[in-house]
Amino acid sequence: MAMAAATAEGEPMMDINTTPLIDVMLVLLIMFIITIPIQTHAVKLDLPVNDQNNPPPDIDPIKNEVYISPQGVILWNAKPVSKLLLRQYLDQTTAMSPVPELHLKPDPAAPYGEVDEVLAITKHARITKMGFVGNEAYANF
């Protein structure tokens, strides 16, 4: 009744019908959502190809082993090296972060002079993470 009393009969309604405007807005919103491209969070990297001709690096970033054979040959990770090359490898390891461990493994029959020279080279290279591996081989000497 209150509505009928507020407006006279036969007068035009002054309010805009917003229902079609809301319908059009919702249709446009749905079309906009459908046309947005899917976001991908991929990082494009050029990965190295495993080449059989490319040898692995000579310095292991975790641990390296120096073995001195009974003939006095110095082996760095099972590869023969000279004393100069050994010093270069040791200098490269001290520049790495974190510094890899050095495992010194002289053969029980290795010449003492060669082992002493290798120890002097490691001392001059200021190697701090070094350990002797295979000490149980010296139990019978």
Q: What are the boundaries of each domain within the chain?
A: 63-136
pLDDT (tens, 9 = 90+) of the chain, 141 residues, equals: 444 445 667 788 788 888 888 999 999 999 998 888 877 777 777 777 776 666 656 777 788 899 999 999 999 988 999 999 999 999 888 888 888 899 999 988 889 899 999 999 999 999 888 888 887 767 776
CA distances 121 to 76, 114, 127, 130, Å, are 13, 11, 9, 12
Specify the pTM. Answer: 0.57
The reply to whether CATH 1.25.10 applies to domain 63-136 is no
One-letter amino acid of 82: S
